[in-house]
Amino acid sequence: MMNFSTQTTERQNFIGIIQLRRSLSLGVKHNISHDNICMIYNDEEMCFEQFESNLVAYPGTQYFLVMVDDISFEQIDDWLVINYVSKLKEYSIRLIKI
């Protein structure tokens, strides 16, 4: 059994990271910018970026992370990494190999 934090936001963001990894792994031609990442998904461009205090995908409105203060993306070695701050705690998470 996994031990989750009792804070709903942290638990939601953990689930969002899993969903983000899945979505990114299905895309091709990833274009990484400091504040967003775009890719081709099902023959259409799909982008992920911060909107207000959430990480969303567009077109459409799919939420991945909630209650975040800052989000950035970077490539470290062969990994796409997301860095974000939520409730004064900093996170740096490897998403997918690119």
Give residue 66's domain range.
8-97
Q: Is 6 helix (H, G, I), strand (E, B) or coil?
A: coil
Domain count for the chain: 1
User: What confidence tens digit (pLDDT) does each residue in 48-88 have?
Assistant: 999 999 999 999 888 999 999 999 999 999 999 999 999 89
User: Tokens at residue 6, please?
Assistant: 């009792």
Closest Cα partner for 20 from 60, 53, 49? 49
pTM: 0.87
- The reply to whether 56 falls in a domain is yes
Determine, yes or no, domain membership for 71. yes
Look at residue 61 and tell me if it is in a domain.
Answer: yes
3-state secondary structure 10-21: HHHHHHHHHHHH
Averaged confidence pLDDT in the chain: 91
**Is 95 within 8 Å of 21 (Cβ atoms)?**
yes
Whether 6 shows a pLDDT value over 90: the answer reads no
Residue 1 lies in a domain: no
- Phi-psi map region of 87: left, alpha, beta (phi>0 left; psi -120 to 50 alpha): left
> Residue 24: which of 55, 52, 68 has the closest Cα?
55
On whether residue 2 sits in a domain, the answer given is no
**Is 12 a domain residue?**
yes
Segment 16-25 mean pLDDT: 96
Q: Is residue 36 part of a domain?
A: yes
In a domain, 84, yes or no: yes
